[in-house]
Amino acid sequence: MSRGLYSTLSRFWGADQYWHIGQSVLARQAQEGWGAKVIDQLARDLKAEFPELKGFSPRNLKYMRAFAAAWPDPEFVQQLVAQLPWFHANKLTSRSVVG
């Protein structure tokens, strides 16, 4: 996980927002199917829409997707977020397959 994502976005959002982004990626991938390049397109769209924000690279979006896939229950995520900052919550999923 890049420190850039953590330091920049943590000022605006918490881990629950990263989870929501990950859920959106999972939903779009399910809807559009394999090979649709959802993450690459989303990274380009976010960079175009919010050029001042850093941390929406395809790699970081994959971390967000892995986080959401590892814990699909929003109530559990809320409890996790209350206890752990995003960096630590993300470390729990870093051993899972991100690509």
Residue pLDDT, tens place only, 18-57? 888 899 999 999 998 877 899 999 999 988 888 888 888 9
Q: Which domain holds residue 36?
A: 3-93
**Does residue 42 lie within any of the structural domains?**
yes
Question: Which two structure tokens, joined as six digits, stand for 76?
Answer: 């559990």
Percent of the chain with pLDDT over 90: 22
Question: Which two structure tokens, joined as six digits, stand for 90?
Answer: 């993300």
**Does residue 98 lie within any of the structural domains?**
no
3-state secondary structure of 50: coil
**Does residue 99 lie within any of the structural domains?**
no
Segment 65-82 shows an average pLDDT of 80
Q: What is the pLDDT of residue 82?
A: 63
Place of tokens 């175009």: 48
3-state secondary structure of 80: helix
In total, how many domains does the chain have?
1
Neighbours of 99 (CB within 10 A): 7
**Does residue 53 lie within any of the structural domains?**
yes
**Does residue 14 lie within any of the structural domains?**
yes
**Does residue 64 lie within any of the structural domains?**
yes
Q: What is the pLDDT of residue 3?
A: 46
